[in-house]
Amino acid sequence: MNGTFNIKRFGKWFVSDLKACISNYGLSFMLISMMGLIIYAGTTITGLLINGTWGGPGIIFRTFTFAICMAVMILTLPPKCYGHITDKRAGSTWLMIPASSFEKFLSMVTISAILVPALFTGIYLGFDTLLCTLDSTCGDTIISIAPRIFSDIPDAPAEVSSFIGMMTNPLTYIDDIIGTMLVFLLGAICFKSAKTVKTILCLMAFSTILSMIMTPFMSSYMQEMITNPSISVEEIFGSRLFRNLPLIDTISDIGTIVIASAAIFFRIKTLKH
């Protein structure tokens, strides 16, 4: 394929790629996206039949369910939409499609790591907001989880409130979602079988190695905080480590995104059957 990128060719391939992903994963996507509505209906109806009372699930339970559904989507989408390219027959057909490696890479990443998670979030949180608007027993919406946490600890030190504010900001986790999706996408196009399991095992091995490397650097710092009886909560949360934790997380996530993206492109570029 001559040329690395042609906007018209990319547009045609993107639409075709999206349709194929919808065909393979559309039903599962809608089921996961509407899981909040399904659980809400099951909870309220069960409570009405057993206890004779109507009450929607609380915000903590609904937020936890949202996180679980997001994780399920991240685990299941890549092998469903792109796992077939490791198959000899389907993968050979995919390689012969008139689009450059970069165009296939860009379409794959855009759909799996940006478009689908954004649609899932919009649908799930949209239903959650609608339910809580119509049913007063539902309480606060998931979107309001950060302000709710602040209201629960009004007397917390400023350092603690600042740290919680940074860690509960939903925008903080966008790069986490993108990076994690790209890692499982890489596993889906590299492993020929048990794609998700093998990816998880690789992540566990990497985490173990990283922990072994970081332990000597962190042990002395943590030991000092634990054994120092005079250190206060304000000093702990105001320390350089806690103040820079969101920045450290962002840098590591960006590194994951860059490395995973490069590995995905290299895999597509060199894929043969």
The number of beta carbons lying within 10 Å of the beta carbon of residue 81 is 24
Nearest to 109 by CA among 272, 2, 262, 254: 262
Question: Which is more confident, 140 or 219?
Answer: 140
Please answer whether residues 66 and 142 qualify as being in contact, where contact means their C-beta atoms are separated by less than 8 angstroms.
yes
Confidence of residue 213 (pLDDT cuts 50, 70, 90): confident
> How many Å separate Cα 99 from the centre of its chain?
28
146-183 b/e (C-beta count within 10 Å ≥ 16 → b): eebeeeeeeebbebbbebbeeeeeeeebbbebbbbbbb
| Top-confidence range, 153-157, 210-214, 236-240, 249-253 | 249-253
CA dihedral for 269, 185, 112, 92, sign (positive or negative): positive
pLDDT of 3 above 70: no
Q: Determine what percent of the chain is predicted with pLDDT higher than 90.
A: 51
**Quick one: tokens of 237?**
């949360």
Least confidently predicted of 32-41, 74-83, 100-109, 161-170 = 161-170
pLDDT tens, position by position, 220-251 = 666 656 666 566 666 666 667 677 777 888 89
pLDDT of 82 above 80: yes
Across 103-109, average pLDDT:
96
